[in-house]
Every structure is written in structure tokens, then in C-alpha cells.
């Protein structure tokens, strides 16, 4: 029993170090969701799945809620998004609301180049005639950076 008692501090130190390493790895790569306010609404933007990478189906997602009561906002009308990359514009793409998750709106894309992008969401709020816009920057990473074993650059 004494032999096991002497090992206990070492075992606890190894387990603690492992847990701290895992926590550090998770917190070093935070999920990047950005929030902006427009027309009395809070709009939170993100990509799913994360990390967003080239060559995979990506959803761009906007979670919209009322600033007044924090409730999901279900009345976006004529929602469209234009995506900007390297000085070019793509779209507009129709933004669809979720039936299961009120206040969630999304588009689906397959990005073929890594880099910094910008989404510009435009919409009407309910029956209002005014068109509102909100823009968000996001990054698409190179899928090859996650592949194991790595592919040779230039070949498939």
C-alpha cells in the first residue's frame, strides 16, 4: 500500500498537467462569433462547422434576436448575403430561416480559397420598407493544414 501511496502525487500531477494542456489547447483556438447591432436587433455571426476550411460544405449562420426582449427575431424579410473576397463580390445568395430554430438564418457554400472574407447581410425588418445591412469578416482556412497525413502541395 505504501508503494501506491507514493505514486499518488505523481499520478495526480500527470492527470492535472494533461487536463491543463487540454484546456489550453481548447481555449487557444476560440470559436469566433462576432456580434453587431442593427435596427434594434442583435446579430451574431459564425460559420459551421468550425474551423471553417476550404473544400468542405460550410454554413454561414446569423442568429438574430430583439435587443428589447432578447427573444429570437423571426421576421427577417428578403434576406440576402453578398460575400466579398479579394476585391470580388459573390452573390447575392438567399438567406434561409430555420424552422427548428427561430431566429437562425443561414446560407451554404463550399469555399475554394483560404483567406479573409466578408459577408454583407441585407434584410428588411418585418413589414418595414427600409433595407438594413450588417457586415462581418471571417476567415476560411486551408483544409490541407488539417489533413493527416498531409498531401503534397500541388497534387491531389
Q: What tens digit of pLDDT does each residue of 118-129 get?
A: 999 999 999 999
Any idea what the CATH number is for the domain that residue 55 is in?
2.60.40.1930
Q: Is the domain of 40 the same as that of 20?
A: no
Residue, of 153 and 129, whose pLDDT is higher: 129
State the total domains in the chain.
2
For the chain, give the mean pLDDT: 84
Residue, of 7 and 23, whose pLDDT is higher: 7
Q: Which domain holds residue 126?
A: 34-145
In a domain, 41, yes or no: yes
Q: Is the domain of 12 the same as that of 48?
A: no
In a domain, 73, yes or no: yes
In a domain, 150, yes or no: no
DSSP string, the chain: -HHHHHHHHHHHHHHHHHHHHHHHHHHHS----EEEEETTEEEEEEEESSS-BTTSEEEEEEEEEETTT-PBP--EEEEEEEEEETTEEEEEEE-EE-SSSTTEEEEEEE--S-EEEEEEEEEEETT---EEEEEEEEEEB-GGGT-SSPPPTT--
Amino acid at each position: 500500500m505504501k508503494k501506491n501511496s507514493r505514486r499518488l502525487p505523481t499520478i495526480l500531477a500527470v492527470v492535472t498537467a494533461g487536463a491543463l494542456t487540454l484546456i489550453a489547447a481548447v481555449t487557444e483556438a476560440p470559436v469566433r462569433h462576432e456580434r453587431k447591432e442593427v435596427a434594434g436587433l442583435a446579430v451574431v455571426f459564425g460559420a459551421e462547422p468550425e474551423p471553417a476550411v476550404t473544400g468542405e460544405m460550410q454554413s454561414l449562420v446569423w442568429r438574430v434576436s430583439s435587443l428589447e426582449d432578447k427573444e429570437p427575431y423571426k421576421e427577417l424579410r428578403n434576406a440576402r448575403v453578398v460575400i466579398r473576397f479579394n476585391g470580388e463580390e459573390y452573390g447575392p445568395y438567399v438567406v434561409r430561416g430555420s424552422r427548428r430554430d427561430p431566429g437562425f438564418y443561414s446560407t451554404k457554400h463550399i469555399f475554394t480559397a483560404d483567406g479573409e472574407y466578408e459577408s454583407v447581410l441585407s434584410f428588411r425588418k418585418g413589414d418595414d420598407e427600409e433595407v438594413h445591412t450588417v457586415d462581418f469578416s471571417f476567415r476560411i482556412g486551408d483544409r490541407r493544414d488539417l489533413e493527416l497525413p498531409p498531401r503534397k502541395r500541388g497534387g491531389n
